[in-house]
Structures are given as C-alpha cells and as structure tokens.
C-alpha cells in the first residue's frame, strides 16, 4: 500500500471531512433512502435510486479518505530553494512569453492551495518528478505523451 505524503493542513481537512461523512453524511443519506422507500415501488423510484447512488459515492469517498489516514506521512515544504513536495513552483514552457507562466503546488491531490490560481501537481507525474530538486533558473526536460518537453523554473516558493 503506498504511503500518502500530505501536509498537516490537508490531513486535518481530511480528518474533518471523514468525521462529517461518517456522522452527518450517513444519517442524511439514510433519511433520504427511508423517505424514498415510503413512496412505494422501489423499481421505478428515482428518488430511491438517486439516494442509493449518493450513498455509494459517499462510502467510496470514506474508504478513500480512510486509506490516506491509515497510511500517511506528513511532509513539510523545504526552504532550501529547490523544488520539493509542498513547494509552489512557477514554470514557463520554452517559447512561451513570461505572462504565460504557470504555478503548481507539488503535492498529493488532496492538497488545496490557499491561492486558487495554483494547481496541484503530483510529484509522481512526469513533470512533477522532473521538477523535484530543481531551482529557479534551471531548465528541466521531461517525457510527455507527445514527446520531450522543456520548462524553465522561474521561481520556487516554500
């Protein structure tokens, strides 16, 4: 089972979501299912089927969160100027103008950057793994589905 490397803030948010889903969420879905059952024939009862689908999605999310909570490692961002898990990296593809720079938080997909313009990039993705250890001014190449691409690291923020 892989170890999920997450920040302390993401872990706390996941614990809160898990508690909410396993208490309030389960109660509300069970109530919706109960109300839908009272409407009669379950074969053609759209409310019942919708509530059961919602229950299935919620239980899948609970299992997903539990897998992370059971096997995680808290990571802290590095302050040494190199890209690492927890850092925000600003990159510019070769040939693009400076106003086309993109910002990514390198981390677990459960991370939620404070700045909504920052996207999350997995450290196991081709670009994410190529960026690890890079510093501002470095040129990084990585294999993309359509061939080799190069990016310039503009800035690394802890």
Q: Residue 134 has which token pair?
A: 């890079």
Q: Which domains does the chain have, with CATH numbers?
A: 4-74 (1.10.287.180), 88-157 (3.10.50.30)
Q: C-alpha distances in angstroms, 86 versus 44, 63, 82?
A: 49, 25, 11
Query: What per-residue string of b and e applies to 95-119 under the rule 16 or more CB within 10 Å gives b?
Result: eeeeeeebbbbbbbebbeeeeeebe
Q: What pLDDT digit, counting tens, does each position of 112-158 carry? A: 888 889 999 999 999 999 999 999 999 999 999 889 999 999 999 98
What span, in angstroms and rounded, lies between the C-alpha atoms of 70 and 51? 28
Q: What pLDDT digit, counting tens, does each position of 40-85 carry? A: 777 778 889 999 999 999 999 999 999 999 999 998 877 788 999 8
What span, in angstroms and rounded, lies between the C-alpha atoms of 151 and 91? 6
What span, in angstroms and rounded, lies between the C-alpha atoms of 73 and 7? 8
Count of other CB atoms within 10 angstroms of residue 71: 11
């Amino acid at each position: 089972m892989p170890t999920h490397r997450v920040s302390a803030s993401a872990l706390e948010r996941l614990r809160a979501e898990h508690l909410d889903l396993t208490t309030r969420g389960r109660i509300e879905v069970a109530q919706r299912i109960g109300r839908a059952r009272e409407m009669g024939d379950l074969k053609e009862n759209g409310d019942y089927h919708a509530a059961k689908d919602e229950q299935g999605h919620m239980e899948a999310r609970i299992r997903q969160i539990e897998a992370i909570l059971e096997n995680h490692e808290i990571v802290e961002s590095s302050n040494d100027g190199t890209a690492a898990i927890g850092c925000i990296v600003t990159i510019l593809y070769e040939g693009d103008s400076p106003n086309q720079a993109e910002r990514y938080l390198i981390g677990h997909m459960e991370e939620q950057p404070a700045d909504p313009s920052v996207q999350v990039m997995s450290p196991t993705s081709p670009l994410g793994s190529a960026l690890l250890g890079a510093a501002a001014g470095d040129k990084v190449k990585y294999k993309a589905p359509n061939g080799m691409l190069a990016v310039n690291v503009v800035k690394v923020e802890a």
